[in-house]
Structure formats: C-alpha cells, structure tokens
C-alpha cells in the first residue's frame, strides 16, 4: 500500500477516534501530570524518513514481548516513520501483583488482576511514546471498538504520532510458562475448553466482558489485520522446540498465540483488497541461552525502553493509581539475558537469490503465505514479478539453487494447520522448473524427520540445498532434536528417507558450499562453536560432525566457496562485527584459518557475500554494505528490511544484492568494484519493480 494512502487511512481513523464515534473514549487521554519527574534516557539517532513505504503490524502474547524480543526492530521502524501497530493478545495479568521482588523494600501487595494489567498497559504506552517522540508522557487517544470475533478491543492512537497504534484484545493469559492450564490459549487451541474469557484491565474503555471460541479468536486477529492491512507482519515463534530435558523453550502463550496468528494470517490472505505482506518470526526465551547479539550501545537504548516500561523510577507521572509500569520487570529489566539479543527464528539466511541459465537472476521469498519469485533476464533488463507459486501455508524463508542443466530449484517449509490440534504439522517442500527458464512444477513434499507435533516438535530449521554434478539434490536441515538430517534425491526424482548425520545443540539453519576439489561442506552453529561435515572426496558420504574450534557466533551462518576450501561468515557476539574464517580439508578433518575481522561494525542477522562486497544489517537496522579490506564501517542506506540480504557476483564483475523491504517489495542494488578495494563502492537502492 502506498504511504500516502496509509496516512490518509490513519488520519481518518484518528479523526474518528477523536470524535468518539467508534467507541467509548478513555477518561484520561494523556499520560502526564509530572513530565519532568524522571530523567529521560538518550534516544537512538533517527534513521530519517524510510526509503520504502509499507506498514508493520506486530502480534504478541503479552505486554513486554515486543520490547524484549522484537526490539530494536520495533523502535527503528517507529523512528523511520513507518506506520507501526502492535496487538497484544492477552492482558498479561499473571498473579496480579505489581511488585519488583521486594528488593526496593516494597510492601507485599494484594493480588488485583485488573489493576496489574492496567499498570502493564501504562508501561507499554509510556515506552512507545518514548520510542516515537522521546517523551514518555506523550498523550494517547483511547477507544473501544467491536471485533470481528464478537468481543471488544481497546485501540490506542498516539496523538503526536497517529501512525503508532496499540490494540489490546485483553484475553486471559495462562499464568504459567509451561504448567498445564486449560484456561489458556493453549487449552483453547487444543480444544480442552470451548471458549476463553476476557480479562479486562481497570481503566480500559472496554466495559463489556466477553468470551472467544477458537474460531472467534482467529476471526478477531484476522479482523485486526484487515483493518490495518500491513505489508510486514511480525509474530512470535509457533514452534520453538524443546530443551534436552523435554521442556518447551518458550512460554506457552507465545507459542500458541503465534499459532492463532498463523491461522489468522492464512484467513487474511484470502482478502482481495490488501497489499502483499511478508511474515517475520522472532525467537523468544531461547535467546537467554545463546550468545548476546547486540552491541553495547544498542543494548543500552533497548534497556532504557524496558526501564520505562518497568516504571523503574516510581515517579507518578501517568496519573493512574494502578501504577505507571510493570514492577515485575523492574526487578530484572534485561529479563533473562533477553534484552541483549534479537533473533529471527525463520528466514535469516542468504541463499534465496541464484543465477540461472544465460545469466538470468531468480529471487525467492514468501508473500501472502505463497512462495513468490522475481526474475531478471540480464543486467540491462527490468525485473518482473512477483509471481506467486500455487500452494498456501508457506513459512518464511526460501533456499534456491541452479542445477547443471540451468533449471532453478527452490525449497522451503510449509505449515498445515488442519482441523484438529494433532493435525498441525510442518513439512519440507521442493519445486523445480520443467526446463531452463521454464515454468515451475508443483510442490513435492519431502515430509519431515519429525513423527508428530506434540509440544512443538515441528521445530525444524529452514532447509538448504546442495546439488551434485549429476544434478541430484540433497536437502539438509536441523531437526527438532537439534541434530543434522539429510534427504537425498533418488534417480526417479523422489527423495529418500531422512538420514541422521549427528551433531548436537545445533542452533542455525545449515550452510553448505562446495570447494574447488568438488567436496561438499556443511556447517551449523551451536551455542558455543561451529560444527562441520565434509566429503573426503567428491560424491563420497559426508563425514562428521567435526569440531572446528571456531568461537561462539550470534547463530546465523553463511558459507561461500573459496579456492580449495569454504569461507564462513558470522558475527561476533556482543558486537555485531562481521568475522570470517577459511575452512579447508585435511583428509576428512577441517583445518581452520585464524578468525579475521571482515568489517561491518555493529548490526545483527545473517550477512551475504559476493565478490568483495559484504551486505547485512547495519547498526541502524538498515541495509548496509562494505568492501572486504575496507575500514570496519557500513555504507548505510535508510531502508529497513525483513529477513536477510542475498547477493550474486555477475559475469561482468558487478555484485547484485537484493532485500525484501518492509513494504513487501524486492529492492536491488548493483555495485561495480572500485579500483581501490579498500574503498567501499557506492550503492544506490531502488525497487526492483519500477512503477
């Protein structure tokens, strides 16, 4: 949707809210009686106006899930001027006690679910106001609106920045991370209860209690999507998997709330009057068990927003007797090492662009729940697309490869919701062209190495492709047990059973490349290092896993062929600086060069490398590029994007890089090397599909 149309719709919505015609206005419109009661934390420098249009809608289970797990993406989207709406599924009432563990001498408070929920709302409004305006007391207009599921929701519009909205669905939360609580979204999803009740906050303009059936929850979320028509949907992880002790790695509300969002997104995709949209999944509690991702400056800014939410200073600036924030978080503003990281649980790899026959480029991503592709016939030609392949339910992320005969193949995963809870499952699917530059055939299912989906065992990684000289494909992925699995294409075109290749504690999607001797390498990161599987000779079975001795990474891993070895690219924890190491084979065992710094200070997520150009998310969150051997700084754009970049080195020497913007459109730049390799080439980003 063009920016102008989006702003017109938001302005109209704000006018309606101000007039009070769609619901009951809250008694207190503002948040501030003593705006100077506490020092305001420093602001991150604004990106300036975003170079893309589009809008973002986030859906989370509880107030603070967005601040812990989707920031700094959240704050940077707001600062760029991108319209942002966050929907909170539950009121987050917990035990109803707004207390910071007693470490500040607070007296024990009586339980009050409605008042504690209101305090959390107040904290969220303050944090968003601070992110958008620098003033946590900036006023909000609050109203109640009917939902498509037959209940009511509170909608808050930030007066100074009406493109920032909050939607509160106010359903009851589980009240426990993993304990069996039938009165919960999990119980509703599994059919153990017929309906889930509301938990209204004190002070909300919503005055009528309600209940939702499973279908009503899905209709309600789909209605929010249809109301805002986002181009980027952010949600939590519906399949977080388990720890080795069998416990789920995330809160049950995060997991089952995300499944409701999956179902709502599938329903919303049937709406015709909407723009294309992409989906981004975020890792939750597991972040606390992995190396820190963010650099110190970004962590400080993120923590400041969390401290505002936690009402750390106790200043009575919001005018609410329930409290101005979540005192439980005040006891530990960083959570359990969650504030130091942000990770995408799907779609954070760089192998979704490939060069086909005759130098034709093909880029793949998931739009509207379908695999989509864009293509360009030559360097001077225009891009065309997106073309959506048949078959809904595709998960974020795609991996592509070109076969020896010039045909292009693509692999991904798709989720089937089914009619019954036990029907929920994820499978690997594969499609290939009938001929070079020809149409794609239908999806071929490779199934899954998982037997069932009890408590999230569909937690397989994104798959990657490796192509043998004879054109046969092998698909690799990390299974729910965090080991490496492989399915090899058979002579008849089908795929064999999922072989077990071992390893443990694998965290990343696998990364694969073939060295100049024709030996295939496969790598995957753990929480502490990188493991390797290598063919001793071309065509031989993979051997491994072998330890590489490499240090801990922030998880995403990229592999590129480099002479007689494979070069790995990753980021340094607590920094974001891009690092690299060359791995060669001595017989079957890897020999690893020293780790060197490759540039690109700060940032997070996977990096793409082609020729001498490195592309990735810069410290500002926007797409950045740098040249190998250049100073460790990004040449930054102002464009925020989803997932990871992808790039190829074309025969004429130019590097073409693509990203999927927050507008759900493909953006591209072509970079010609300079005569001085230490100086980054200038990059100009443009939409691949020009008006």
Instruction: Please give the pLDDT value at position 246.
Output: 78
d(CA 266, CA 268): 6
CA distances from 466 to 132, 333, 372, 400, 513 (A): 45, 44, 21, 9, 7
d(CA 471, CA 98): 61
Residue-wise pLDDT for 219-271, tens only, equals 999 999 999 999 999 999 999 998 877 788 999 999 999 999 999 999 999 99
Instruction: Please give the pLDDT value at position 6.
Output: 39
Residue 323 backbone dihedrals phi, psi, to 5 degrees: 110, 155
Contacts of 70 (CB under 8 A, 6+ apart): 58, 60, 234, 282, 342
d(CA 96, CA 109): 9
* pTM tops 0.85: yes
Residue-wise pLDDT for 433-474, tens only, equals 999 999 999 999 999 999 776 666 789 999 999 999 999 999
Instruction: Please give the pLDDT value at position 197.
Output: 98
Instruction: Please give the pLDDT value at position 690.
Output: 85
Instruction: Please give the pLDDT value at position 14.
Output: 36
Burial of residue 631 (CB within 10 Å: 0-12, 13-18, 19+) is exposed
Instruction: Please give the pLDDT value at position 77.
Output: 97
Instruction: Please give the pLDDT value at position 53.
Output: 84
Instruction: Please give the pLDDT value at position 107.
Output: 55
d(CA 77, CA 75): 5
Angle of the 252-268 helix axis to the 214-228 helix axis, nearest 10: 60
Instruction: Please give the pLDDT value at position 39.
Output: 36
CB distance 432 to 481 below 8 Å:
no
Tell me the DSSP string of 354-378: EE-GGG-EEEEEEETTEEEEEEESS
Where exactly are the structural domains of the chain?
3-32+56-330, 604-691
In the block, tokens 């966050």 appear at 86
Instruction: Please give the pLDDT value at position 112.
Output: 96
d(CA 325, CA 111): 16
Instruction: Please give the pLDDT value at position 40.
Output: 41
Coil, helix or strand at residue 89: strand
What CATH class is the domain 3-32+56-330?
alpha beta
Structure tokens at 179: 């304990």
Instruction: Please give the pLDDT value at position 682.
Output: 59
Q: Which of 342, 350, 211, 370 is nearest to 277 (CA)?
A: 370
Instruction: Please give the pLDDT value at position 300.
Output: 98
Q: Cα Rg for the chain, rounded, in angstroms? A: 25
CA distances from 590 to 62, 546, 549, 586 (A): 45, 7, 10, 6
Instruction: Please give the pLDDT value at position 601.
Output: 85
Low-confidence residues of the chain: pLDDT under 70? 1-51, 101-108, 453-456, 673-682
Instruction: Please give the pLDDT value at position 13.
Output: 41
Q: Which of 465, 232, 235, 474 is nearest to 366 (CA)?
A: 232
Instruction: Please give the pLDDT value at position 674.
Output: 61
Residue 359 backbone class (left: φ over 0; alpha: ψ -120 to 50; beta: rest): left
d(CA 92, CA 201): 10
CB distance 126 to 313 below 8 Å:
no
């Amino acid at each position: 949707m063009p920016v102008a149309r989006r702003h017109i719709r938001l302005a109209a919505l704000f006018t309606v809210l101000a007039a009070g015609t769609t619901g009951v206005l809250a008694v207190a419109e503002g948040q501030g009686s003593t705006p100077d009661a506490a020092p305001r934390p420093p602001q991150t420098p604004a990106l300036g106006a975003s170079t893309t249009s589009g809008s973002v809608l986030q859906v989370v289970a509880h107030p603070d899930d967005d601040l812990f797990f989707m920031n700094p993406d959240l704050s940077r989207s707001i600062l760029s001027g991108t319209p942002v709406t966050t929907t909170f599924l539950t009121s987050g009432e917990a035990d109803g006690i707004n207390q910071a563990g007693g470490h500040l001498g607070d007296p024990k408070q009586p339980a009050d679910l409605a008042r504690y929920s209101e305090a959390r709302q107040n904290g969220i409004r303050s944090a968003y106001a601070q992110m958008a305006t620098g003033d946590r007391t900036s006023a909000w207009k609050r109203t109640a609106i009917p939902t498509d599921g037959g209940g009511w929701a509170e909608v808050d519009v930030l007066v100074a920045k009406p493109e920032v909205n909050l939607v509160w669905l106010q359903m009851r939360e589980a009240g426990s991370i993993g304990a069996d609580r039938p009165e919960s979204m999990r119980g509703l999803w599994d059919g153990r209860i017929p309906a889930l009740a509301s938990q209204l906050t004190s002070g909300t303009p919503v005055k009528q209690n309600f209940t939702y059936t499973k279908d009503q929850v899905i209709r309600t979320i789909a209605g929010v999507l249809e109301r805002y028509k986002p181009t980027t949907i952010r949600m939590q992880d519906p399949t977080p998997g388990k720890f080795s002790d069998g416990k789920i790695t995330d809160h049950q509300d995060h997991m089952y709330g995300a499944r409701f969002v999956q179902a709502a997104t599938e329903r919303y995709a049937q709406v015709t009057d909407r723009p294309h949209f992409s989906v981004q999944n975020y890792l939750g509690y597991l972040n606390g068990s992995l190396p820190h991702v963010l650099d110190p400056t970004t962590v400080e800014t993120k923590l400041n927003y969390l401290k505002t939410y936690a009402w750390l200073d106790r200043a009575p600036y919001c005018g609410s007797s329930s409290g101005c924030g979540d005192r439980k978080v005040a006891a530990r503003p960083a959570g359990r090492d969650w504030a130091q990281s942000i990770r995408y649980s799907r779609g954070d790899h760089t192998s979704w662009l490939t060069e086909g026959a005759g130098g034709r480029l093909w880029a793949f991503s998931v739009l509207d729940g379908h695999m989509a592709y864009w293509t360009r016939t030559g360097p001077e030609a225009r891009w065309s697309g997106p073309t959506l392949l048949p078959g809904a339910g595709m998960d974020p992320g795609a991996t592509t490869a070109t076969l020896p005969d010039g045909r292009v193949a693509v692999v991904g995963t798709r989720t089937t919701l089914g009619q019954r809870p036990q029907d929920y499952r994820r499978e690997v699917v594969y499609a290939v062209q009938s001929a070079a530059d020809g149409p794609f055939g239908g999806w071929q299912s490779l199934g899954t190495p998982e037997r069932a989906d009890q408590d999230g065992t569909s937690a397989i990684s994104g798959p990657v492709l490796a192509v043998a000289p004879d054109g046969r494909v092998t698909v690799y992925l990390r299974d729910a047990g965090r080991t490496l699995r492989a399915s090899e294409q058979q002579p008849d075109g089908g795929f064999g059973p999922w072989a077990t290749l071992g390893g443990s504690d694998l965290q990343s999607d696998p990364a694969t490349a073939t060295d100049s001797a024709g030996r295939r390498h496969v790598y995957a990161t753990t929480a502490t290092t990188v493991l390797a599987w290598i063919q001793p000779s071309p065509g031989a079975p993979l051997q491994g896993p072998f330890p590489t001795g490499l240090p801990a990474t922030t998880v995403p891993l990229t592999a590129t062929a480099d002479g007689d070895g494979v070069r790995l690219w990753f980021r340094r924890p607590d920094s974001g600086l891009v690092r690299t190491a060359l791995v060669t084979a001595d017989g079957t065992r890897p020999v690893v060069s020293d780790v060197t710094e490759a540039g690109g200070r700060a940032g997070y997520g996977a990096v793409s490398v082609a020729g001498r150009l490195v592309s990735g998310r810069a410290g500002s969150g926007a797409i950045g590029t740098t040249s190998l051997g250049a100073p460790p700084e990004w040449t930054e754009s102002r464009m925020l994007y989803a997932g990871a970049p992808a790039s190829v080195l074309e025969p004429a020497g130019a590097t073409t890089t693509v990203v999927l913007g927050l507008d759900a459109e493909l953006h591209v730049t072509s970079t010609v090397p300079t005569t001085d390799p230490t100086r980054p080439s200038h990059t100009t980003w443009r939409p691949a599909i020009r008006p």
